[in-house]
Structure 1
């Protein structure tokens, strides 16, 4: 029987077993001292002898609660609600229904903090904050924060590392309310230990202006705040790990933290040759669906691969310092260094169509890429004054990338005859330095609701690219007289960019929650290019072609917004019109520049409705003006690669984009229900589309034109709920993508429609004290159709079945394993792929859990492969890359600064 069918049967079998269990209920009603029912009271069920957490629920609008799935034992009920004294009730459960009647909560004599979690309540809510008790979610001593977040309902970490909460991308991550390594989610989640955290807060954070003035402008962002355990504060803590394995595999990790009420210090380090960047191995098994962006598509760029591909050596070091001078005035700075050395091989197959002469392409690739990145962030915030606030943020970045690659390519006619081959050796050195600075000042004026703000933002960068490429071309291979051409190309490029943005905002109250807003901004962009290119045809007496030029692109945008704002706790309306003047001047500096000056009216609106806690709807509309990028409008040809020539179109018009989005978030904390949905629609006029010409010698020349309309629709739905009585949470997800675009290929318009749909189902147990079980499946289909080559319409399917077990045999001995099974199929490629991935780990804690031995077994079936498929407007391809394959490592971890656990 096929493995995918076996996994489906296992899913059904386990769900039937789990769904068949139930127990008589424990119920009651919670009221205040004046007999008023209290909603959202957290009710936890514990064992009396050791206070072990069993289950929990939340009261409804009538103050009623019901707990199912209780064990036969002496139990304890804990009632917890913000602003009230925690109450306990003892019961003796004999597997019979219990009605404890009315429970009266007494008010606290003082106001509690915004979010306070009992030691056992898994979740609580307060206004715009959802707080999870980290102790209620099983993590191992070696897990990082990324592992913890994956266990929380309503959160998702995508394969590219983005964190999605409540249907929105998380923009910042804080530790104890302070930025940690610039708030970069990737750095924080991969390098801080999960067992140091007491609670996780998902905050729908107001803008700095709204926090100061008290007027909600609807401009919120989702942030995550991790609160440290009390035992981790005012002392140093962290971990030092080292491991060694077969085939000379090794790794070393270090993180050390010391947090006091006023100062934070964190140091991290990492060095390994096991392809570890912080995520687990499955995170890199992603496949391109839909229509891919061709903006950086280049046949010479063979090193453009997933970080798991080939063999990756990684080195990381960083330090973060934060200090609070006084309440609401703090400074934060961090430095982060990242080294990666990635090498390997891959094989690509491409089906290309050009209207008149379709062809197939295959390539063997070898690559080596070494990058060094230095990043320094600083952040100053002063909100100590009740009438004004100041924020200053900055970033200094330095990158150096060295890459060498070799690609042997083969071009076949539709009949399967080998017509042309090329061998390309490519060497590139890319260095870039940049400075980002953002300053914002907010002032609240005497009249309630009246305020203004000023801001300045700049991004200055310089970049140098040194490119060398040697190409050996053999044409007419099947003929009696094949010809060889060898070309050496040298291209040195220097870029200097400056972006300056000034803005001013003023808010005038009109009375009864109505406001008038005026916003003005001036954006100036200045880009300079200095290009030197020399091409030598070695098989033609070293004939040379020299190209040198200096290119400048200047763009100024002046925008004024007149807006109306209505703001209450439940409803927020923000709508208006933007007046935009756009001025552009560009071209080679020794020639007459191309000039344009245009004026636009851009409407915008936001409607947000929050009828009650846990429910939010948000509708947003914007019209955006997209100027042609420098590469799209450049007047100079880039023919460094003789098989992929790029040039711009200086006569391009701006693209007008109407952007609609609808977001719905519903959380019912009594039933543990979570529903998030996001629908986004974009409609473009005068769309900038590729203009592709492919000649009989397979040379592709790409430019751009304005042509008609482009449509894009994305929709995602996520639903999860805990099933009463059986301790099981299930999750359903669905995502859909529709993209309609056009390209011009050999003078004929090609309409491309891409449709993607994904369905997912997962099951997991709710009580994870001893064992954490999860199993599920994802099924996705991509359907791409082309108007000029309908017989090449593509249907690509991906099936993913997975299961994971994390079990504590004892307090010291832990076992976990994860099995993933992928099935890839494609009607245009005969090589369908079935890929099983099996990982396993066994860990043992020694000496008060301060020392950990761990045996890690990765890719036990030794598949040694990474797989990618992509579609573009005139070809689709599949690439199979070598990966690290199976390895086994034995590691040792020492907890730094740990204290012995005190007995209850």
Structure 2
């Protein structure tokens, strides 16, 4: 009943917004376009003339110019807008700018159903080199225009020899995670470009770690139109939040290179090389990187990094890549081919303290693990993008291979009320091979002058060959429980095939669109889980390299039939969707979009485990979505989605392959439904001020929880998947950036986030009659603050701090509320010293309070420094780095959910001092 009410309300809201869509009686078709420098991509001061097909001038305008109120500098976006025309026909745009060749571009109003007349971008070439004029002014770090932010790279005092990641980490309002994800004012950046194009197939880490910061002129963050929008000349709902890194003119054409090699104490070393050829006809790039510094260069000097961000363990990395990109007639059509290779060696030591919440007394586990892994992988990606007046094509062809081997030792102890229950010692080794292939294609045609017909397809295939060998010894403190010793060999080959095909038609009338769509998705999963108990046929020793054949193991009775299985799963999905959009509704003039997809899902599973089981489900899901957005100001989104639980959980089985975990299936699991509502608003003002507020609510009905029954006699956990309700969470954030003085030297950057999670799970001790439903409330408050003072080009200071507070409560009997927090405060300094030296140093104290184990409640000082000097006209850079000079770095993490909490310690890179030399060069083509 409740679901029907929600759907009825949703339909009424959609109808209301549709009725509010704007409808003009008389319509003038605006002529819009963009003019840029053909080499740098910058906007230009240009005079433009709109002419009829027989070259009669009917209007003239200039590119949009804005004067920054703080610096007085005139900024040109390159955008222009003619007021509009009323008649169908052909038109010509003539662009004139001093020092540039005149340029022309044809355009046409083909149908009065079009929204406006889009003009393809005009790229202008210089006639001769203009005399340079030096203008001294205060360097602004960023300029904001609507939903676009432009950062000036020269306004940041960076450590010499820095890569792009260091610059991005210091951008006001930006956050860079350790795995290369970028957020600006709390919004995830989906695409990182270099001079408007993908860099190594859009992998942000390649650009972040290998592109030198000194080559960057500006960084533009904006909503970039996709191929559909570019072809149709209007927003087709494929915008991507993009960061475009623009190179300086001297690096936008020609050759550039950067080489660095260094050695340090504690046997630390690094070697890197980067070469790039840029021109308007092609781009060729290659890189090589080898180091044993955990491959986290950014972590040392930006002051916004915590010990939790340290890569776990000790890692040696070797990477190499080659990239080729060629524009195909225009900057929005191109071909790119990339090949990358990587080899890593890891040594990871982990110590964990785990508390499991139970109704009549919690259980505790202490564990120590020592793992060594080695992996080698390569990947090849080919991309083709064609955007023409009448059609577009995007194709991606990718293949990859990865091989990983490893071995390790584990030791764990379980206890209740300080009484030892069991002790487990285990050794293990593994061998993994992964193969993947993918082909993704999308084609769209412009039909009937203003509509679009599109076809999509995808082929994705993976194959994994996994083998593992483990030897375990489970001991109990009492003679009543005998020891459990096992030698297990597990062979788990699996395959996955995914096929999709789709068709859609977009009917456009000016600023409105109606799009019916159909998509078919097929998934096939094939998996085997062959478990052999080698302890049944002999004590060994055994290794993965000299195991008997599978047939011999089966004949010898080593196959563990209860825990061996195989399955074949097939899923067929039919998606029918009708979507409507209005780019300018009457409600606040906002962009309105609504979709009412209906998904027919059928899944079947053939599961063989001590007998054949056949599981089948078929459902029809209604998954509506609605969004309302005012460009650059605010947005609201809401929707829902549904799916089956993992089909293998619906089978009847009992898995006791791990002596401390017994797992079962549950055929009564219900369909999962998820609901979400998100909203954000942004305010911008003078003095580079930006205020962003966001909030979201997420709810999951029939979430799969794993009911835990814990045996306090044997320390064995019995786990059963169940469907539970009551899981929801709400979060909000507040981001504030502003210059605090009139000269924009002192800036503040504050990010606050709050989250509450209401988590439901099932837990009880074996034989207990108490309520097994466990409800836990988790509050997380997180705030980071940075005050930055840039005195001049030679000195910059930053005071930074952060607080992350956890509060975990529950009404469950015997539950002790948890209150813990991480705090930090530090100072970062960049100074130019006499004799052309530069010093960069950061000192931060990290404090932890409220943790269960006393050794977790620490105060650690982290002090890093770098001293550099340039030689030979800045071509050679000598660098002396010191990492963790006080030797107090610890890598710890803390995680809490509805079942318990876990405190984890990892070994981390030791303190060291390193000296390195870096050579850079740049060769520009000769002027003709």
TM-score (norm 1): 0.82
Q: Which residue pairs with 1:142 in the alignment?
A: 161
How far 1:279 moved relative to its partner? 3.4
Using the TM superposition, name which of 858-867 and 836-845 deviates more: 858-867
* Match among 795, 798, 809 for residue 785 of structure 1: 809
Q: Which residue pairs with 1:72 in the alignment?
A: none
How far 1:284 moved relative to its partner? 7.2
Q: Which residue pairs with 2:453 in the alignment?
A: 452
d(CA) in 2 for partners of 1:576 and 1:480? 65
Secondary structure of residue in 1 paired with 2:483? strand
Is 2:719 the partner of 1:738?
A: no
d(CA) in 1 for partners of 2:304 and 2:462? 32
How far 1:518 moved relative to its partner? 0.8
Distance 1:843 1:544, change over 3 A: same
CA-to-aligned-CA distance 1:218-241 (integer Å, 9 cap, x gap): 442211111222212332212111
Secondary structure of residue in 1 paired with 2:854? coil
Is 2:539 the partner of 1:535?
A: no
d(CA) in 2 for partners of 1:819 and 1:331? 46
Is 2:827 the partner of 1:803?
A: yes
d(CA) in 1 for partners of 2:651 and 2:239? 38
Q: Which residue pairs with 1:593 in the alignment?
A: 614
Q: Is the 8 A contact 1:140 1:195 kept in 2?
A: no
d(CA) in 2 for partners of 1:192 and 1:518? 43
Is 2:290 the partner of 1:271?
A: yes
Is 2:194 the partner of 1:175?
A: yes
Q: Is the 8 A contact 2:421 2:715 kept in 1?
A: no
**Following superposition of structure 1 onto structure 2, how do residues 353-752 of structure 1 map, counting pairs within 5 Å?**
353-356=357-360, 358-383=362-387, 385-414=388-417, 416-448=418-450, 450-475=451-476, 477=477, 479=478, 483-509=482-508, 511=509, 513-537=511-535, 546-547=560-561, 548-568=564-584, 571-588=590-607, 591-610=612-631, 615-630=632-647, 632-633=649-650, 635-668=652-685, 670-696=686-712, 697-725=714-742, 727-746=745-764, 748-752=772-776
d(CA) in 2 for partners of 1:115 and 1:626? 52
Secondary structure of residue in 1 paired with 2:253? coil
Q: Which residue pairs with 1:325 in the alignment?
A: 328
Secondary structure of residue in 2 paired with 1:182? coil
CA-to-aligned-CA distance 1:438-476 (integer Å, 9 cap, x gap): 11111112243x21211012321011211111111110x
Distance 1:651 1:557, change over 3 A: farther
How far 1:377 moved relative to its partner? 1.4
Q: Is the 8 A contact 2:645 2:669 kept in 1?
A: yes
d(CA) in 1 for partners of 2:693 and 2:537? 60
Q: Which residue pairs with 2:90 in the alignment?
A: none
The gaps in structure 2 that reach 5 residues or longer are 1-46, 48-61, 81-95, 104-120, 126-132, 541-556, 765-770
Is 2:777 the partner of 1:753?
A: yes
Q: Is the 8 A contact 2:142 2:688 kept in 1?
A: no
Is 2:234 the partner of 1:236?
A: no
Using the TM superposition, name which of 133-142 and 416-425 deviates more: 133-142
Distance 1:777 1:657, change over 3 A: same
How far 1:417 moved relative to its partner? 2.2
d(CA) in 2 for partners of 1:768 and 1:645? 65
How far 1:147 moved relative to its partner? 0.8
d(CA) in 2 for partners of 1:791 and 1:347? 24
Q: Which residue pairs with 1:880 in the alignment?
A: 905
Q: Which residue pairs with 1:772 in the alignment?
A: 796
d(CA) in 1 for partners of 2:233 and 2:535? 69
Q: Which residue pairs with 2:89 in the alignment?
A: none
How far 1:343 moved relative to its partner? 0.6
d(CA) in 1 for partners of 2:597 and 2:222? 30
Q: Which residue pairs with 1:91 in the alignment?
A: none
d(CA) in 1 for partners of 2:650 and 2:217? 53
Q: Which residue pairs with 1:193 in the alignment?
A: 212
CA-to-aligned-CA distance 1:4-39 (integer Å, 9 cap, x gap): xxxxxxxxxxxxxxxxxxxxxxxxxxxx9xxxxx99
Q: Is the 8 A contact 2:231 2:391 kept in 1?
A: yes
Q: Is the 8 A contact 1:728 1:766 kept in 2?
A: yes
d(CA) in 2 for partners of 1:253 and 1:760? 33
Q: Is the 8 A contact 2:153 2:216 kept in 1?
A: yes
CA-to-aligned-CA distance 1:657-691 (integer Å, 9 cap, x gap): 111111223333x3210122332211122222222
d(CA) in 1 for partners of 2:366 and 2:535? 25
CA-to-aligned-CA distance 1:374-433 (integer Å, 9 cap, x gap): 1221110011x211100001322212221212111112221x122311101121222211
How far 1:605 moved relative to its partner? 0.7
Q: Which residue pairs with 2:866 in the alignment?
A: 841
Distance 1:630 1:134, change over 3 A: farther
Q: Which residue pairs with 1:891 in the alignment?
A: 916
Q: Is the 8 A contact 1:823 1:834 kept in 2?
A: yes
d(CA) in 1 for partners of 2:123 and 2:692? 24
d(CA) in 2 for partners of 1:782 and 1:518? 47
**Following superposition of structure 1 onto structure 2, how do residues 64-75 of structure 1 map, counting pairs within 5 Å?**
none
Distance 1:162 1:84, change over 3 A: closer
CA-to-aligned-CA distance 1:454-504 (integer Å, 9 cap, x gap): 1012321011211111111110x2x46674221111111011111122222
Secondary structure of residue in 2 paired with 1:462? strand
CA-to-aligned-CA distance 1:537-557 (integer Å, 9 cap, x gap): 569999955233320111122
d(CA) in 2 for partners of 1:541 and 1:890? 52
d(CA) in 2 for partners of 1:358 and 1:723? 51
Distance 1:364 1:443, change over 3 A: same
d(CA) in 2 for partners of 1:869 and 1:219? 38
d(CA) in 2 for partners of 1:805 and 1:566? 50
TM-score (norm 2): 0.80
